[in-house]
Each structure stands twice: as C-alpha cells, then as structure tokens.
Structure 1
Amino acid sequence: MKDIIGIGLIGAGRAGMIHAENFVSRVPGARMAGVADNSEEAAKKAADRLHIPYWYTDYRKLLQNPEIDAVIVVTPTKYHKEIVLEAAAAEKHILCEKPMAMNSEECKEMIQAAEEHQVKLQIGFMRRFDKSFRKAKEIIDSGEIGQVVMVKSLTHGPSTPREWMYDIEKSNGPLAEVNSHDIDTMRWLADSEAVSIHAMAGNFRCREAAENYPDFYDTVLMNVRMANGAICNIDGAQGVRYGYDARVDVLGTKGLVQIGGLKETTTVSCTKEHGMSSGIIASWTDLFSEAYVQEDISFVRCILEDTEPEVTGYDGWKAVEIVKAGNRSIKTGGIINLNEKEKPDGEEKKC
C-alpha cells in the first residue's frame, strides 16, 4: 500500500476546486496529481493555480495515469455513472459528489463496479463531516433526547439554477440538486429508511423557465415516514436571495436537537438607526468549508487503512431513490410507497 495517494480531479468547477485545494495542502497522505475538464481553459487554469503536474480535456487519459490512485468526480449528475464505472475498471478509488446518479439502476451498477474491482466508493455528503452535525449525531445516539420521532431538514439556496437544471429529466430537480443533503441527513439522524413519501412543489421565482420547462419547481416540501415510525419533513428552495439557509430540528421523546441557523456569527449590532442586525451566511462554501476538508481526509484515510467509507454507495443510492419517489409524488399528487416498483428504474431493494 502506498503512503501517499495520488488524487485526480474530474470536473474543475467550483465544488471540484474546493476538493482540489484541500488535497493540495490540508489532507495528510494525499497529493494532487492531475485534473481533467472538458474545457481546456478550465483544466489548464486549475493545473496552473494549484501547481498540478498533469491536466487533460479527456478524463479517460487521466484514468490511464499510473500516478493517480483515486479520483474526485465533480461533474453534472448525468455523467457520474459512466465516469465511475470507468474509474473502477481502472482500479481508481472514487469520491463521487452528490447526487450519486440519475436513478437507482445507475447507483446499483456503480456499487457493483466498485465491489468487483475492489476500490472504495464514497459519496459526497459532507454534512456528515460537519462538527455541528456530528455533535448532533452523538447526542442522538447517546439517548439524551430519547427516541427520535421527527426530523425537519431545510435548505434554501440564494442562487437560481443553471439552465440544464430546469429540465427535471436531466437534473432530477431541486430535490436532487439542493435537498440530497437533507435526505441523507434525515436517514442518518433518524437511523432508518424511508417507507412512504408525499411531496408538493411549485415554481415561484424562476417563472422565465415555465414555458420551456413546465415541470420545473424551485420550492418543494416533502413529508416522509420512516420504517422505525419517525416522521420527517424536507423543505427546499432555490433563488431565495436572502442568503444560504441550512437548518435541522430533531425532536425526540425526551428533548430536541437543533442544528444550524442563518447568522454568520453570534455578533449582533443594535442601533437606533438600524435596529438589531447581524450577518447572514452567504453561501454553502462558507458554511461547510471545514466539512469538505474532513470529508476529504476521511476518504484518503479509508484508502490508506483499507476501511469502509463513512458515506457509502448504498447511502448515495438511497438518497437517489427518495429523490425519484419525491418527483413522482409531485407529478402524480399521490403518496409513494417505496416498497412498490419504480417503473423507470426497476425494483427498489437492497443489493
């Protein structure tokens, strides 16, 4: 086993560069060895900025580089399956950003490929590595608040979607792009699987997209019943403008755990002219920057120590399963039972 893991980045956008910068200087046992992006300008710019020795416009060439032991896949979701299958076949360990894939069948193929080629497959749910979320999990697991009976998870993002995201068939919509983290948090904190889902949604802030993309929604509420009896609520919105808002309430039989808030700091100013005011978190990059570092550290550690990733392909698959069920509920207006067959993806059952 190598002492230093060579990392290759596939997708040099904003999220990809967050990972790359971490691996350059903040992840023990790792070094950035290459970057691939279908934009030559983006690939070269990333390589120059981070002093990465190799850059490519074709990720397949990156996979052929013997100095690269693991890859970070940060591309649009529709490309994840193809890239992960090829990376596994090339015997590269994989950290794949969320959403894992477009449907359950793709997720299962990715899990199977990683198992067949004996490589690690970790999914990018970085909230599990955030210190506040981890502390909440410790409190819940200790029994301090008793049995978990309700989880309410909210994410509101300030930016409007890029145009490809308007097409639900290509992006799976805000439930995937925004609320995948809430869905994973719900499963993790409730320590159970979803059994039934009802969702409703609307387009209130992106009306220009309505004519060409009538199914697009920028605001969604989803109620979920878990196998252990807990009831959950997911609240998502895009283009809210007021800031980045991520909060969770976990209600137990003996108490409550709350995570997150809008305030950037605990500092509050009070004046006659402006009243009471405080800063607001502007972006997920501000709120979860340290969580990304810890996520990347955990990925390299599981390779070096040959342990299971903290967030597995199974976790990614179950989030996709819930996203797809939520979109079906929005379209039909009905309650979706996850024990039933999902027509586009085949049977929803554990591998």
Structure 2
Amino acid sequence: MVNVALLSKWHVHADDYARQANQNEHIQIKVVWDENVERGQEWAKQLTVPFEPDLKEVLADPEIDAVIVDTPTNLHKEIIILAAEYKKHIFTEKILAFTVEECNEIYEAVNQNQVKLMVSLPRLTENYYLYAEQVLNEGLLGKLTSIRCRLAHNGAVPLEGNPNGWLPKHFFNKEECGGGAFIDLGAHPIYLTNRLAGPVKAVIARLQPQSENEVDVNSVAIIEYENGALGTIETGFLSSGSPFQLELYGTEGALLIEDDKIRLKSKQLGEGWHTPDTLPTALPLPMEQWISSIIEGKIPSITEKDVQGLTLINQAAILSQTQGRRVEKDEILTVKK
C-alpha cells in the first residue's frame, strides 16, 4: 500500500486525483495539507482524513510514502524538490514548472533521491492518440507536413453572478499560474503534437488576454518542427461547444480526429475516407502508471522528455508573445542551467 498526502486543492483537477487515488486499491490517502488552511480543512473533512497545516510535518512523517501535488504552479519547484528531499514519490498536475531550467532542477532532485515523479499528461494514454501514432508509424500519411490540435472551453465566458465564468478566480492570477489558457488547457495540444511531430525548431505565439484579465484567454501558436512540418496549437477559455480536434496531414494522406469521430484518407488504402474498425487499447492513466512504477518498477509511457518538451513550448511562447517575434528552441535550451 502506498500512503499518500494530498498537497493542496488549488487546481480544478484536485478532486479528480483524490477520486482516482481512492479508487486505486494500492493507494491510501492519509492526510491533507493546503496553503489555504480553510480550504484544506474543509477538503480533509470531506475525505475524512486529518488536516496538517505544517508541510514539513507531513513530509517528515515516515508513514507517508508519496504526495499528490495540486498547488499553484509557482509553488511546484519548491514543494516538489522538498518532497523529493524527504524521499517521497511525487504525482503532480501539469505543467511541472515555468522554465526548462526549473524542470532540470526538479529532475536533479528527483534522481538524486531516487523517487518516482509523474506529471499528469493523460491524453498520451488515450486510444485516439495511440491510433494517430500508429498511422504515422505505418507510413499511411507519408511524410508529415502539417499538424493541428485545438482544445478550448468556455471557462472564462461570463455567467450570471460570475463575471469570470466557471473557472476559479485564481486561474487568472498570473503570478500563481504563470499564464492563462495556453499554459493550462493548451498543455494537452502541446504534448500531443510534440509526440507526433517530433523535435521542435521554433515557436511563434499570440497569447491574447481579455481587458479585465492579465492572463491569456484565447491563444494560438505556430510551431516549426525540425522535420520541416508546421504545427498549429489553438486553445482558449472563451469557446462554447468547441470540439477537441487533432489533424495530421502528409504527402500520402490525412487523419482527422474530432471528439470521438476519426477519419483517415491514405493513398495506400484506396479512394475515399476510412473509419477504423478498432482502436488501440488505451494505456493506464498517469496515476496508475505512477503507482506501477513505485510498486513494480514499471517504466511509465509518460517521460521526462514529454514534460520538458511541454515546458519548452510554453517558455518559448511566452517569450514570443512578450517580444513579438519568432523564438528558436536553442534560445531556451542555452539559458544557464
């Protein structure tokens, strides 16, 4: 049994991870800590576990094997490194950190202390992603020339009695979040396209805020890949009814995924569009992979490369927006480590 401490309910997915933990036969939630004491006490009461206001007391407890981190993103580096130093395994919400340099520091602490770190990038486990990967690997699209991914929702569309929409107010706090729609919801298109298109060469981004918010709520990035393909990543908090879309185009065909509808056209398959009869079996969710890595030593499918690549795009996009220009990958990677 892996005894777990929940560290903060700041993120909107914190309840989801608590539920996944409770549903996993190998996990036991033992305690809650939160930088917001009142919120933490209420959450602990709901979960019928103790609340501990002192983080170091939680981490020093020898009965605690691991932590699930849902703090503000600007606290990730400090808290995750501290947890690693106390020899606790770590599961955390994306993104890991604001810069590649900070990610390197976190992984250095994780590796030195021989603990398991998992960042939740769940769409890399989905059957549609695995199918897209399969289609590329089989050469059915020929040479990949273009990839587009869109994921958006209406979280910042004003509601009656809530001018900020249904997202919590702190999701628009630039200091805590590091950004808005792109760094949060845009993470999913970023890590999906990174996997499918390969190494990135350069980024151009437009991260557009609403007048009353300092973070972006409607964002687009154009990605240049080393293989010559172009990528378009679209996200936002202002789109009602927007479907998830993943599109791949190549010299031999096209793959279009829109929610649960999948269509493939390939010269190698004859004329017209084809719908797959079956899809690959989905992989275990990130939390399941994390626990398997702790208990059985299994190697997760979600890797440090995925996590670093996600941060790289975010860091480059913010620089592109701030300076109004194209940003080369090497500009980010040559920052002093």
> What is the TM-score of this pair, normalised by structure 1?
0.79
The question of whether the paired residues in 1 share the 8 Å contact of 2:151 and 2:185 is answered with yes
2:109 to 108, 113, 129: 113
How far 1:228 sits from its partner (Å)?
2.1
Q: How far apart are the structure 2 equivalents of 1:243 and 1:8?
A: 36
C-alpha distance 292-138 of structure 1, shift in aligned 2 (>3 A): closer
The question of whether the paired residues in 2 share the 8 Å contact of 1:341 and 1:347 is answered with no
Deviation per residue, 1:192-250 (Å, 9 max, x gap): 121111112433xx3223xxx4xx4321211111122221111111132x146422112
How far 1:57 sits from its partner (Å)?
2.5
2:201 partner SS: strand
2:72 to 76, 89, 94: 76
Deviation per residue, 1:264-307 (Å, 9 max, x gap): xxxxxxxxxxxxxxxxxxxxxxxxxxx99722111111111213
The question of whether the paired residues in 2 share the 8 Å contact of 1:9 and 1:34 is answered with yes
2:19 to 21, 25, 28: 21
Q: How far apart are the structure 1 equivalents of 2:336 and 2:254?
A: 36
Match of 1:208 in 2: 212
The question of whether the paired residues in 2 share the 8 Å contact of 1:19 and 1:293 is answered with no
| Alignment pair present for 1:294 and 2:290 | no
Residue type of the partner of 2:56? R
Give the CA RMSD over aligned residues. Answer: 2.5
The question of whether the paired residues in 1 share the 8 Å contact of 2:98 and 2:311 is answered with yes
| Alignment pair present for 1:339 and 2:311 | no
Residue type of the partner of 1:317? Q
Match of 1:154 in 2: 150
Q: Which residues of 2 match residues 46-125 of structure 1 at below 5 A?
A: 46-52=43-49, 54-125=50-121
Q: How far apart are the structure 2 equivalents of 1:310 and 1:325?
A: 25
2:141 partner SS: coil
How far 1:181 sits from its partner (Å)?
1.5
Which range moves more in the overlay, 115-124 or 66-75? 66-75
| Alignment pair present for 1:328 and 2:319 | yes
Q: How far apart are the structure 2 equivalents of 1:318 and 1:29?
A: 30
2:259 to 258, 261, 278: 261
Match of 1:31 in 2: 28
Q: How far apart are the structure 2 equivalents of 1:31 and 1:135?
A: 34
Q: How far apart are the structure 2 equivalents of 1:217 and 1:40?
A: 29
2:259 partner SS: coil
Deviation per residue, 1:10-65 (Å, 9 max, x gap): 1124311111111112x24222222211233432333333343x322333222122
Match of 1:185 in 2: 192
Q: How far apart are the structure 2 equivalents of 1:124 and 1:133?
A: 15
Which range moves more in the overlay, 55-64 or 87-96? 55-64
Q: How far apart are the structure 1 equivalents of 2:323 and 2:175?
A: 16
> What is the TM-score of this pair, normalised by structure 2?
0.82
Q: How far apart are the structure 1 equivalents of 2:218 and 2:95?
A: 18
Match of 2:300 in 1: 309
Match of 1:274 in 2: none
Unaligned runs of 5+ in 1: 264-290
The question of whether the paired residues in 1 share the 8 Å contact of 2:223 and 2:230 is answered with yes
Match of 1:281 in 2: none
Q: How far apart are the structure 2 equivalents of 1:45 and 1:292?
A: 34
How far 1:117 sits from its partner (Å)?
0.4
1:188 partner SS: helix
Q: How far apart are the structure 1 equivalents of 2:176 and 2:36?
A: 20
How far 1:151 sits from its partner (Å)?
1.4
